[in-house]
Structure 1
Amino acid sequence: DLADALGLTQVQVLTYRGLMLVDSTRVPADLRPYLRVPLKGTTPLLFELRRVLNKIPPEEREILQTLYDRPPSSVLPLSVVSPSGHFRVHYTLDGRNAVQPDYPDTVAAIFDHCWQVEVDTLKFRAPPSDGGKDGPEYDVYVLDISDYGYTTAEEEVPSTPRDDWITYIVVDNDYQNPRYHTKGLNGLRVTAAHEFFHAIHFGYRSFLDEDVFYYEASGVWMEDFVYDDVNDYYQYLPSFFGRPEKPFNTYDGWHEYGLAIWNKMLVRLFGRDVMRQIWEQMIAGPRHVTPAIEAMDQVAQRHGDTFRRLLAEFQTWNYFTGRRADPEHYYKEGAAYPLLRPTRDVLLDSSYVARDSARALSGVFEHFEVQKSNAFRAALTFDTPAAWMIGVAVWDPEGQHWHQTLRPGQEADLGFLSTYTDFLIVPVNVSQNGAESRRRFQLEVSTRPSDYRPTFGVEDPTPNPFMPARHGVLEWCYRLAEPVDRAFFYVLDEHGRVLVKQDLGAKGDGFHTCRWNGRNDRGEPVTSGVYLLELVAGKQVGKAKVAVLR
């Protein structure tokens, strides 16, 4: 905790960080390096600071109050209304806040585009009206600032029972600050998308302390959704993949921004509406407040999944980046992401044993490179089995790769792995009980006896139900007990008619994956209903059912 490390109270930390925005000379020089506000971190700081203003000494409080005052017309005397009529952009052509003459119209057009995507297309609620302050439109003020931009929660909406707020947005006047990763109009674009989504957030509800991380993670996701070709979020990924063991809900000025890729996974699995479903769930219930993780779990259950299992799967997705990227099944831009830095790298000949622990909502990343071809298994034991899930990912340099999630008590049968195959095992502590929830585990990886043959079996198809328009591809993992010259994958309707026949070719023993896009062999989408999946590999036959929803 920063306050403890610096010998300050939490109120003092917030006070000094606020002063760093308006008058850094009032902050002790030796503390300034530790109290700089992260880029894109002004919005949550302003709201946290508002909560403690009455505890701050009067002199500092008077200075900090200026952070909440709208710029007066004496500072920004000019304004332009956006073509849609949704926004009024306030600006000046003189002094330190001056802009180029065409800049205000560009700002207005960019914010109009953000409204069109976030409200009209994604169907999020529009931000609450401010009752006509500085005009009936939503207000955007253009100033010379050292942050990308920020959203100020000005006052609560009096007409609703939930904790929602009226807001306005401030953006930079040129986006040329050396601190910015993305400069110029692209810097403006991602800021507009990010901050307008914060304005939407505050229209749902203000954040609980435990939820700040998700406001930022979803804000960064939105900026990349609206302007996919800018990729400003790449700047956060070296830190995110360099410290993957940080708890999921960490809020430290970097991790929460890199966590935007969690939302990319959710959208890939469940479709883009899942983001709105989470925010609607966050204002559900009698008090109109559901914590973000609880809301994510409730929405996941509607899709036949759980937050616990998804958290384990997320760790495996983060393995398939860089040279291991698979854009067809994992992150579409994964080739541009850094490789994950594991807790330990192990050159595996035959066996390995590790004992370790993990904090709540975090994992330990055990990474292996096979030095001698063999059949491998992994067994894990836990101090509190109910607190754990396990993610497993296997990457073969020749192209065969797969992932799975396991519950405690399920052995990880890794099958036959050839020399130089990489695999990752991540025990994930999925409990949410804070500092007391560090849990311990033991991992044992070993080879099978020379006469071992894997047992044949099929996993549950995922996702199920399968919504092709949202999910894109259904995956069905299976394990062969012996190699076959040819294997076949079939999809049959309820009358037993074959709709799909895939020749999978020759397959060795161990794990494999077949995939289906929800179309028949003529390329036509199948209708909603229950379908039978069938795998035939020599004498090995496996079956499963899947529900398709259109």
Structure 2
Amino acid sequence: MKKFIFSFLFVSLLIAQDNKIEQVYYTACDRAGIEIDKPIDFKPFDTGKCGFGLYVEVGRNWDKFSEIQKSNIKKSLERPQLQTSILSPSRRFRIHFDTTGVNEPFLFNDYGKIPKSWKMYVDSVAKYIDSVYNVIVNLIGFEFNFNDDTLGGGSEYDIYIQNLTEGLYGETVFDYSNPLPRSGVAKRFLSFMRIDNSYYESSYYTRGINALKVTLAHEFGHAVQLLSYGLWDEDIWFYEMTSTWLEEAVFDDVNDYYAYIPRFFKATSTPIYFHDGYDLVVLGIFLQARFTHRVIVRAWDNIRNYPPVSALELSLNSFSSSLKREFVEFSLWNYYTGSRARSGYYKEGANYPEVRFETQPIFITSNEATINNSTGALSTQYYMFIWRSDTIVAIISNVNLNSALARSSDEFVFQYHITAGSYSEGYTPLGNGLKTRLKVPDFDNWGSLNILNSQIAFVKTNDVFPNPFYADGIEKILIPVDSGSEDVEMKIFTIGFDLVYSGKFKPEFNFGNYFVSWNGRDNSGEIVKTGVYIYFVRSGNSERLGKFVLIRK
């Protein structure tokens, strides 16, 4: 019976894969206007607002297409033949368009289409694409040294204005089978851009010129990624996340991304690498707020040779942080949205949806409650508990980077216990007689935050985190201080009071508190030995002394 079930599932998987390949083929031809026989019930392959993912799927499945299909797909990748073109004022972009027919660009107002408005629309494209280039390349610092010889009529980057499929904002088209010489491990590609001729239809969340503006930023982001950094075709989420973040970075007033982020806030328990990327724009916004745009640019520098999760980890390391640490902080930021928005987190957080809790509020009876569950890598679950007049929110994140790098669908079990009882060993006090414990076999791959009555109970007055501290020279232990207004003197001693590290630091704001941090290295840069260590911090007239366990990895 088991053998029969396995065979049935295997055959079903093959059929689903074949159907997907056919769907990709039909969609590529349909968007390019290539006449082929399609099923009556044909539904286009869904790539969201942007068609970039379609051409990634074409490339990933190239060897599975028939020769006739390959020939038609090649035709679909050819540049459209439109009536005329102009250069943008910077002369970096050639804009192709028709002045008559179904592709004729137009503006509209409350009364409908504005006749003979194609020139104003085309001029807007020229104006805004130069602005996009200026921000993304000159201000943010991405690289873009484009030259396609005479393709499209000159060496400029080509933009084609067409009447696109309803709801499709634009697409960056490239030929997966024709890569450029590599500058690293990832394959690079030339591309061209197709954008809609009006954004008139109600299927667009943002319409008209504002839709045009964010589309130019989004698609130019993909052009930069393909040309300058390279493609990791299993990790499209990072490409779409970055391009959607660029929309906000260039045109902060448009906010088209509001349409997509509800998907993320409803599914934080899904590993981020299984999201489509549009909804993960908040990750880009978070990283920019924490480290400036340079952390994202540096991640893309790394993408030439490393897939996105590794590239982002390396970038954060260069900013004296790590993906594990920042993902836990990111999970806290995602709690403070909507009615819970507060200063110090997302600037536009009041306009964001609120996270979905895994269960209905859990009422603590018999002085305790327990959650037994599992979650995937780089995902977060939120739980709410009620105890008398207290409300407790538990934020539980898995940060297993090895599983994330493998794009694993594995889930990891955990037990979360909250009690008003007499438990002590391994429990974190929250206040009001409550304490919690997260029980997992690999504590280093988890993060747990607790919020008691809207106040973060992550650490109490004399607590450090994590304790024990697994030192690898990158991860840091956080030592709480009273405020962020003054520099802090910090000293680390062995249990025998031998000084191993000292320095003066500006406090950091993490998890709703001020801390100084230490990466486990002594003053000569070596990771210290496993043992019990004593910390001493002084800020103004305030002094604090405590101890923690360090385990060298």
TM-score between both structures, scaled by the size of structure 1: 0.71
1:504-523 alignment runs, 5 A limit: 513-514=513-514
Counterpart-to-counterpart distance in 1, 2:538 and 2:297: 32
Partner of 1:14: 24
In structure 2, what residue type is equivalent to 1:358?
T
Structure 1 residues 261 and 241 mapped into 2: Cα distance closer, same or farther (>3 Å)? same
In structure 2, what residue type is equivalent to 1:91?
F
Partner of 2:180: 157
Counterpart-to-counterpart distance in 1, 2:157 and 2:303: 24
Instruction: Tell me if 1:138 matches 2:157.
Output: yes
Residue 250 of structure 1 and its aligned partner are, at CA, apart by 1.0
Instruction: Tell me if 1:106 matches 2:124.
Output: yes
Partner of 1:345: 360
Counterpart-to-counterpart distance in 1, 2:220 and 2:188: 15
Query: 1:457 is paired with a residue of what secondary structure?
Result: coil
Contact 1:80 1:89 in 2 (8 A): yes
Partner of 1:96: 102
Counterpart-to-counterpart distance in 1, 2:203 and 2:356: 26
1:218-237 alignment runs, 5 A limit: 218-237=242-261
Counterpart-to-counterpart distance in 2, 1:118 and 1:62: 36
Partner of 1:447: 420
Query: 1:338 is paired with a residue of what secondary structure?
Result: coil
Counterpart-to-counterpart distance in 2, 1:78 and 1:44: 28
Structure 1 residues 200 and 494 mapped into 2: Cα distance closer, same or farther (>3 Å)? same
Contact 1:489 1:536 in 2 (8 A): no
In structure 2, what residue type is equivalent to 1:310?
E
In structure 1, what residue type is equivalent to 2:278?
Y
Partner of 2:290: 269
Instruction: Tell me if 1:247 matches 2:251.
Output: no
Contact 2:90 2:130 in 1 (8 A): yes
Counterpart-to-counterpart distance in 1, 2:395 and 2:277: 24
Which among 359, 376, 396 is matched to residue 359 of structure 1? 376
Query: 2:295 is paired with a residue of what secondary structure?
Result: helix
Instruction: Tell me if 1:202 matches 2:202.
Output: no
Q: How many aligned positions are there?
A: 436
Counterpart-to-counterpart distance in 2, 1:187 and 1:40: 11
In structure 1, what residue type is equivalent to 2:350?
A
Instruction: Tell me if 1:534 matches 2:539.
Output: yes
Partner of 2:87: 81
How far does the alpha carbon of each residue in 1:234-271 deviate from its partner, in whole angstroms, 9 at most, with x for none?
001222111211111014xxx41111111111111111
How far does the alpha carbon of each residue in 1:302-323 deviate from its partner, in whole angstroms, 9 at most, with x for none?
1121112222222221101001
Counterpart-to-counterpart distance in 2, 1:260 and 1:436: 22
In structure 1, what residue type is equivalent to 2:396?
V
Which among 104, 127, 138 is matched to residue 120 of structure 1? 138
Q: Any stretches of 5+ residues in structure 2 without a counterpart?
A: 1-8, 106-117, 423-431, 436-458, 467-477, 491-503, 517-535, 548-553
Contact 1:489 1:534 in 2 (8 A): no
Structure 1 residues 138 and 312 mapped into 2: Cα distance closer, same or farther (>3 Å)? same
Structure 1 residues 535 and 321 mapped into 2: Cα distance closer, same or farther (>3 Å)? farther
Counterpart-to-counterpart distance in 1, 2:398 and 2:203: 35
Partner of 1:303: 319
How far does the alpha carbon of each residue in 1:304-345 deviate from its partner, in whole angstroms, 9 at most, with x for none?
21112222222221101001111x311111000011001123
Contact 2:26 2:38 in 1 (8 A): yes
Residue 55 of structure 1 and its aligned partner are, at CA, apart by 3.4
Q: Any stretches of 5+ residues in structure 1 without a counterpart?
A: 284-288, 373-418, 462-474, 479-486, 503-510, 517-530, 545-550
How far does the alpha carbon of each residue in 1:467-511 deviate from its partner, in whole angstroms, 9 at most, with x for none?
xxxxxxxx9846xxxxxxxx877625779xxx99x9xxxxxxxx9
Counterpart-to-counterpart distance in 1, 2:23 and 2:391: 48
Contact 1:18 1:45 in 2 (8 A): yes
Counterpart-to-counterpart distance in 2, 1:205 and 1:488: 41
Counterpart-to-counterpart distance in 2, 1:440 and 1:452: 23
Which among 16, 21, 44 is matched to residue 53 of structure 2? 44
Counterpart-to-counterpart distance in 2, 1:20 and 1:5: 24
Contact 2:371 2:416 in 1 (8 A): yes
Q: Percent identity?
A: 26
Structure 1 residues 45 and 102 mapped into 2: Cα distance closer, same or farther (>3 Å)? same
* C-alpha RMSD over aligned residues: 3.6
Counterpart-to-counterpart distance in 2, 1:205 and 1:490: 40
Contact 1:197 1:222 in 2 (8 A): yes
Query: 1:188 is paired with a residue of what secondary structure?
Result: helix
Contact 1:245 1:362 in 2 (8 A): yes
Residue 301 of structure 1 and its aligned partner are, at CA, apart by 1.2
Contact 1:201 1:215 in 2 (8 A): yes
Residue 366 of structure 1 and its aligned partner are, at CA, apart by 2.0
1:256-295 alignment runs, 5 A limit: 256-283=277-304, 289-295=305-311
Counterpart-to-counterpart distance in 2, 1:70 and 1:177: 25
In structure 1, what residue type is equivalent to 2:76?
L
Structure 1 residues 84 and 451 mapped into 2: Cα distance closer, same or farther (>3 Å)? closer
Counterpart-to-counterpart distance in 1, 2:228 and 2:321: 25
How far does the alpha carbon of each residue in 1:349-383 deviate from its partner, in whole angstroms, 9 at most, with x for none?
43211111112332332223x342xxxxxxxxxxx
Residue 440 of structure 1 and its aligned partner are, at CA, apart by 0.9
Residue 47 of structure 1 and its aligned partner are, at CA, apart by 3.0
TM-score between both structures, scaled by the size of structure 2: 0.70
1:330-479 alignment runs, 5 A limit: 330-349=345-364, 350-368=367-385, 370-372=386-388, 419-430=389-400, 431-432=403-404, 433-435=406-408, 437-447=410-420, 449=422, 456-457=461-462, 459=464, 477=480
How far does the alpha carbon of each residue in 1:90-131 deviate from its partner, in whole angstroms, 9 at most, with x for none?
111111111222211110000000000000111110153111
Structure 1 residues 452 and 83 mapped into 2: Cα distance closer, same or farther (>3 Å)? closer
Query: 1:294 is paired with a residue of what secondary structure?
Result: helix
Query: 1:101 is paired with a residue of what secondary structure?
Result: helix
